[in-house]
Chain A
């Protein structure tokens, strides 16, 4: 009993000693200005960021709207002038997309074929008919007549 009361008295004295030492450690003098400065700097950087956001966002929206209007205007113009569309199609044909290349080859072949046909036709019409050819044509005509008459008999 006396031992425990002695111990509690000791602990009480120790507690009192600890309590008295509570104010011994203090913040350094520069902590307050350091804190205020860091908060001020942070606030100003936040404000700057807000300002940038406030300016940049409407600018982006404005330029997006502007670009959109410009594209709309171009589309309207192209609808109003079909020649431009034809010119664009021609240009793309000349630029040579894979599909247009195939078309070009096909039409080139067709043109070549037509050209050869035309040449043959010209050559044929300009060449004089010889006597033998005329006779053979005639005899062919007589033979055909004979065949028909034989069949009727």
Chain B
């Protein structure tokens, strides 16, 4: 049996949105919320604002599903909506950016990944030091596995700009995470 891709599942739920008596919104939330929140946190830099951005976006889609249904590629469109919402919230609440620490993030703690927790926290701390323009490209490239052309479509920039932002961002992250990476690899080697 062929495995349905993430994009296809989003597309299929998008088609069903607005049908009465079916909890399509709940299903769409279950499928996309983690990835949307992750993207929004990278931009808004705190959990509350990121969740507000996701909630506002999904409420809007529940209200007017045709905007997502008419999109050629629903998933990149959804990411762009969340990004715009997170940027708008970030503009309104600029003061939050400096006052919130990493402890405000809601994190998942898997038993088998407990020893990686420090590494993950280091990554998220380093991500928060990047300019938003670079952080969002890193998120889309690394976590959404998008090409630079796709990233350019979501962020409305040229693919070259997307590529250079990614390179700058990654170098900065490498500089901050070098020590953590060395530790992680030495632990991995011992294991």
Contacts and interface: CB of A to CB of B under 8 A. Distances in A.
Most buried by B among A21, A28, A36: A21
Given A20-B116, A22-B143, A26-B108, A35 B138 contact: no
27 contacts: A10-B181, A11-B170, A11-B171, A11-B174, A13-B181, A13-B185, A14-B174, A17-B184, A18-B123, A18-B127, A19-B143, A20-B116, A20-B120, A21-B120, A21-B123, A21-B124, A22-B38, A24-B121, A24-B124, A25-B105, A31-B54, A32-B30, A32-B33, A35-B58, A36-B26, A38-B55, A39-B62
Given A18-B173, A26-B106, A39-B25, A34 B143 contact: no
Interface string A102-120: 0000000000000000000
Interface of A: 10-11, 13-15, 17-28, 31-32, 34-36, 38-39, 42
A149 to B, nearest CB: 120
Nearest to B180: A17
Question: How many residues of B sit at the interface, in one of the four size bands?
Answer: 35 or more
Nearest to B116: A20
B63 interface: yes
Nearest to A18: B142
Contact of A17 (B26, B62, B177): B177
A31 B26 contact: no
B115 to A, nearest CB: 12
Closest 8 CB pairs of A and B: A21-B123, A24-B120, A21-B120, A22-B143, A39-B62, A27-B37, A14-B174, A26-B108
Given A11-B174, A18-B127, A38-B59, 20 more contacts: A10-B178, A15-B170, A17-B119, A17-B180, A17-B184, A20-B119, A24-B120, A25-B38, A25-B105, A25-B106, A26-B34, A27-B37, A27-B51, A28-B47, A28-B106, A32-B30, A32-B33, A34-B55, A35-B29, A39-B59
B151 to A, nearest CB: 15
A15 B127 CA distance: 12
Interface in B50-91: 51, 54-55, 58-59, 62-63
A25 B25 contact: no
B14 to A, nearest CB: 16
B41 interface: yes
A14 B181 contact: yes
A23 B54 CA distance: 17
B107 interface: yes
